[in-house]
């Protein structure tokens, strides 16, 4: 079993790290807003990108919902489903598209019970806004941009984030 899988299956350390990171990021909100999304992203990319690649196989969608899905990246699902599994999960919990892998959503359900955010698994997540791809999700999170969907003059607020 890889170190990544072990960490995700026993997510205590990841939960603790996220809580610290969340506080640090929210404290930088003013700075990020002054600099704007692009420049702020360049400022933190050097750390976020490799770190989250190692820990979560992050695909840099720019709108992270990891802590709502048991610290399991939904973008690693071959269909990139963010609101639950497809209908093709195999009986043994593996993925219909990549049979050697566990279904991302089976892992999300298993792991979310080990985090303080289990109830968030039922949260309706907004569709991916691809304009945010490759931007730092740390910045979109801190500024609240990750909670805004496309459409509407201001961009419709789609889902409330509980900033626990
Ligand atoms: S930023 Fe997106 S791709 Fe990266 S870990 Fe979070 S949900 Fe997955
Ligand atoms: S079986 Fe799971 S991981 Fe595979 S495509 Fe369906 S939802 Fe995604």
Distance from CA of residue 120 to its chain's centroid? 12
How confident is residue 160, by pLDDT bands cut at 50, 70 and 90?
low
Tokens of 144: 């609240």
Per-residue DSSP letter, 62: S
Residue 153 reports pLDDT greater than 60:
no
Flag whether 38 is in a domain: yes
Does 141 fall in a domain?
yes
What range defines the domain where residue 52 resides?
Answer: 3-147
Residue 149 has pLDDT above 50, yes or no: yes
Of 86, 82, 100, 105, which is closest to residue 159 (Cα–Cα)? 82
In a domain, 72, yes or no: yes
Cβ of residue 97 lying under 6 Å from some atom of ligand 2: yes
**Is position 140 within any domain?**
yes
Each residue's pLDDT tens digit, 114-142? 999 999 999 888 888 899 999 999 999 99
Whether 81 is covered by a domain: the verdict is yes
Task: Indicate the top mutation candidate among 11, 47, 74 to test ligand 1's pocket, ranked by most ligand atoms within 8 A of CB.
Answer: 74
In a domain, 161, yes or no: no
Report yes or no on 127 lying in a domain. Answer: yes
71 in a structural domain: yes
Our answer on whether the CB atom of 103 is closer than 6 Å to any ligand 2 atom is yes
Check pocket membership of 108 for ligand 2, CB cut-off 6 A.
Answer: no
Nearby residues of 96 by Cβ (< 8 Å), 6 or more positions away:
86, 88, 89, 90
Tally of structural domains, the chain: 1
CA distance 21 to 99: 34
Q: What is the C-alpha radius of gyration for the chain, rounded to an integer number of angstroms?
A: 16
Nearest CA to ligand 2 atom 6: 86
pLDDT tens, residue by residue, 8-57:
999 999 999 999 999 999 999 999 999 999 999 999 999 999 999 999 99
pTM score, two decimals?
A: 0.88
């Amino acid at each position: 079993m890889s170190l990544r899988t072990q960490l995700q299956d026993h997510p205590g350390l990841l939960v603790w790290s996220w809580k610290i990171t969340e506080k640090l990021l929210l404290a930088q909100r003013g700075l990020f807003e002054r600099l704007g999304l692009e420049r702020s992203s360049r400022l933190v990319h050097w750390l976020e990108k490799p770190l989250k690649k190692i820990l979560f196989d992050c695909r840099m969608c720019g709108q992270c919902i990891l802590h709502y899905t048991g610290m399991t990246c939904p973008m690693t699902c071959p269909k990139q489903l963010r609101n639950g599994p497809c209908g093709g999960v195999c009986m043994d919990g593996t993925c219909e598209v990549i049979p050697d892998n566990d279904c991302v959503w089976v892992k999300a359900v298993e792991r979310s019970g080990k985090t303080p955010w289990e109830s968030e698994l039922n949260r309706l997540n907004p569709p991916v806004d691809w304009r945010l791809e490759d931007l730092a999700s740390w910045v979109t999170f801190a500024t609240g941009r990750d909670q805004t969907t496309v459409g509407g003059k201001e961009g419709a607020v789609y889902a409330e984030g509980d900033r626990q």
